[in-house]
Structure 1
Amino acid sequence: MKNLSCKNLLLGVAGATLLSLGLTAPAAATMHAELASNLIDFRVDVPYRSVTLRVSGQGVDVQRTFSDQEALSFAPSEHGLADGTYAWELVANPIAGEREDGAGAAEAESTFGYFTVAGGVLVDPELSEVAEAPRAAASEAGIQGVAASAQVFTTDLIVDGSACVGVDCASNENFGFDTIRLKENNLRIKFDDTSSSGSFPDNDWQLAANDTNNGGVNRFSIEDVTNSKTPFTVLAGAPNNALFVEDSGDIGIGTNAPAVEMHIVDGDSPTLRLQQDQSAGFQAQTWDIVGNEANFFVRDVTNGSKLPFRIKPGAPDDSIFVTDSGDVGLGTDTPGGALQVQRATGAFENILTLQNNSGVGFVLTNTSGESVNSVYTSINNLASLYTVNFADGDGAELSIDADGNVTITGTLTTTGTTCGGGCDLVFAEGYELPTIEEHAAAMWSNGYLPNVGPTIENEPINLSEKTGRILNELEHAHIYISQLNTQVHDLSAEVELKDAQLRAVLERLERLEHRVGGE
């Protein structure tokens, strides 16, 4: 249990000040607020994880969370509060575990109140207001003990006219159109239900006009007396139609003509705030949903008022469309996949832009097998390199640099018709193969290989077609090589025969010369 003493947590506050705590409803017995000269001290008598204090009014909204080891104190002068009335709320955030499946948690203890700054100092709540006339005394013994000056009616009472109730009613009261008037310095209408048997409801309620303490707030409230709560309050000066309920049930905030179930009107950025305040034991988080002439947006107030989601006025139909299967369409209400981006401009348009202050990439992952298979595709701006890398532990399989140089670590395979020159048709029966002389004549005449075609310097090249034509010329060349090889073989055989014949002639000549020389 925490029972922190009143300590001055905020230092450097000059001068003594007076404060009105001005609780509009009895504080919970476990939470207390006390004036300690120049600050408010709070005490919480239940175990808690943290305590959140919020002070608002006069355009100021201050929120602070105290840990269970900090003194619970607040010095209004530290925040330079201008003259006016301020509301404060104290919430003890209970000790709780993490949220599971959106489940709630134990309710937090809370209390609230008001204080007023006047002339630069805090108003003293202990000053009391003197009534213009004394109130008739009554004992606690029921109607039998009522003072003699009181009138007691034991039958129905009908007043044909108006009635004034209160110690400040005049004998010649001018009622105007008032039927019942309450007139004194502390005004309350209490509904005291005395039911005491069975399961009959017996909760006590009260209509309260204004705080009873000095410096308190001007307000009209419905108070749950039995449970010490104030579920409804209207402050004096609230604008016209601050809350308006139409006969159809539509609710207007700032308008008396709500067009839909909830209609909010304001001159500058009407806003709906969703605030999780730790009262259920979960981390504080505040979101705003805002609309104005520039944007409709969601604001993350807790994290620096970032704007993670915005829509500009005039955004086209189906800018974002989510189907019942979870498919997302950008520009279409019939996405054909998990994400479809569609435009109908009739001209070239960058449909998808990926941008980063460094390298940019995206990952394609197949999770259907026993192991996850991923492909990492990225552009490294520093090296001006586009890469495709399978998650197989080695380097990139494909890369293209800014000069158009392509690096492939595997093989390159093409599909489709790539042999414009005929390729293997040169081996087909009936193919009219030009002679070497004819082919050479065409080559020298054209200035390029006949089946490859011209290759103009610095012009684009169809590598698939060009490779097929080169293959066709290579096959022609090998056929010609084969033909020439046959001719060489035949010529070699003929030369060998001639050589044999020549050797025989030489041998005969040698024998003849030997015989002639011997004679």
Structure 2
Amino acid sequence: MKVFPLCAALVVAASPVMAEQVFNENVIVGGGLCAGDFCQAGTSFPEGLLRLSTQSPRIHFNDASAVNQHEWQIRANEDSSSYLSMFSILDLTAATTPFTLFGGAPDNAFWVDGHGLVGLGTSLPQQDLHIVASGNYPGIRLERTQAPAHSWDILADQTGFGIRDVTSNNKLPFFISSDAPPWAIWLDSAGYLGLGTDDPAAPLELRREDSFNFFRITAAGATFNESVDFVFTEGPLGTGELRYNIVDTDGPEMRLNADGDMRIEGALTTGGPTCAGGCDAVFDAGFERLSVSDHAALMWENGHLPAVGPTLPGEAFNVTEKMGAMLNELEHAHIYIEELHAELGAQKAEKSEMQAQIAALTARLDALEAAE
């Protein structure tokens, strides 16, 4: 084993080495070691005991212990063709450069603390990955370079947190303000979405600590009344009321309370009945109507109007169909009224004729009595 004094340095001179020196024993260098064609006699070692002094210094790792092991290289700076100032680790076998630091990188550009926390821009990382902004805001870019290429940025600053679509003209489709309330958006393990709650009880629950809550739908291109509100409030009875309100100068257009009572401010229009009972068909030629007496008998027998059907207390019914059936019965009634009116008119004419005949007979009797 060869031992060099501590004060000595093994200097590889700039002049060509005439012959290789092979050591088959351990070599201990007690002082500094310089390797490279720019090493000079008297080289000092203020920053360490090993110096590589050459253009684009490199350290090559050749693992001969097993087959198929990758060869690696530590490289400082690129060659004279590019003059890039950088520190890189190269996978020579794969022809890739998985790690590079450029000269001039700021303090704490990459930091791993004793707990394995990674800091980018900080030496005091507080999470598994902690990023401190080097500019106005910290950001993460996600980029697809294959066609069709697309890029997204995840950003945060004093105003909030957002996701930006870089490729689509820097649109900001998602943003959370820095003063957003607790549980502004919450998605639980069942897939339920809570807005204002961390315990949504439905696929979508909108919650606020007030006596009313609402959500708004807006069609910004509408000429008039571009928004509508769906409101839930305690209501005048204090039992809850659902309201539909076009956002204009008047009140809600529809109210539905906890008792099922509905109030609308306009007309109610439905799709129309199926007219299973005939509806306006009573006026059609050939329509077979029951007589007044038969219709009345059927009504009393069944306990309801024949066309309308039973309408029992507490039982739901189809308002549209009922209205059509009631129209059918109303038209029957008017036809019966018209028929009875005609019959009554004939009876009145007959009565008048009989009264005239009686009056004529009375006059003749009176005349005979006077002649005696």
TM-score by length of 2: 0.59
Equivalence for 1:444: none
**AA matched with 1:354:** T
Q: Unpaired segments of 5 or more residues in structure 2?
A: 1-12, 229-243, 254-263, 274-343
Does residue 134 in structure 1 map to residue 15 in structure 2? yes
- For residue 354 of structure 1, what is the aligned residue in structure 2? 218
The answer on 1:269 being equivalent to 2:134 is: no
Q: Quick one: distance in 2 between partners of 1:410 and 1:238?
A: 72
- Aligned counterparts of 1:286 and 1:324: Cα–Cα separation in 2: 30
Q: Which residue in the other structure is 1:239 paired with? A: 106
**Could you tell me whether the CA contact under 8 Å between 1:193 and 1:203 is conserved in 2?**
yes
The answer as to whether partners of 2:121 and 2:131 remain within 8 angstroms in 1 is yes
Residues 378-457 of structure 1 aligned to structure 2 (within 5 Å): 406=267, 408=269
Q: Which amino acid aligns with 2:190?
A: S
Q: Secondary structure at the match of 1:239?
A: coil
Q: Report the Cα offset of residue 230 of structure 1.
A: 1.0
Pick one of 27, 31, 46 that aligns with 1:161. Answer: 31
Contact 2:216 2:227 in 1 (8 A): no
- Residue pairs, 1:69-468, within 5 angstroms: 133-136=14-17, 147-148=18-19, 150-195=20-65, 200-266=67-133, 267-278=135-146, 282-346=147-211, 350-358=214-222, 406=267, 408=269
| TM norm structure 1 | 0.43
Residue aligning to 1:368: none
Distance, in Å, in 2 between the alignment partners of 1:349 and 1:277 is: 45
8 A Cα contact 2:14 2:40, kept in partner: no
Tell me how far 1:165 sits from its aligned partner: 1.6
Q: Counterpart of 1:135 in structure 2: which amino acid?
A: P
- Paired residue for 1:440? none
Pairwise CA distance, 1:221: 0.7
Asked if the contact 2:88/2:97 (under 8 Å) is kept, the reply is yes
Change in CA separation of 1:214 and 1:134 when aligned onto 2, cut-off 3 Å = farther
- Corresponding residue number in structure 2 for 1:513: 370
Q: Deviations over 1:111-134 (max 9, x none)?
A: xxxxxxxxxxxxxxxxxxxxx933
What SS class does the counterpart of residue 509 from structure 1 fall into?
A: helix
CA distance in 2, matches of 1:405, 1:310: 39
Q: How far has the Cα of 1:300 moved from its partner?
A: 0.4
Q: Is the 8 A contact 2:194 2:204 kept in 1?
A: yes
% same residue:
33
Runs of 4+ aligned residues of structure 1 deviating over 4 Å after TM superposition are: 359-362, 409-412, 494-505
Q: Following the alignment from structure 1 to structure 2, what is the Cα–Cα distance between the partners of residues 496 and 181?
A: 144
Q: CA RMSD in A?
A: 3.8
Counterparts of 1:202 and 1:272, CA distance in 2: 34
Within 1, Cα distance between the matches of 2:16 and 2:91? 26
Q: In structure 2, do the counterparts of structure 1 residues 355 and 503 end up closer, same or farther at CA, with 3 Å as the change threshold? A: same
1:170 Cα offset (Å): 2.8
Shift in alpha-carbon separation, 1:378–1:507, aligned structure 2, 3 A: same
Shift of 1:499: 8.4
The 3-state SS of whatever aligns with 1:351 is strand
Higher relative contact order (CA 8 A, sep 6+): 1
Cα distance in 2 for partners of 1:201, 1:261 equals 34
Describe the SS at the equivalent of 2:215.
coil
- How far has the Cα of 1:201 moved from its partner? 4.4
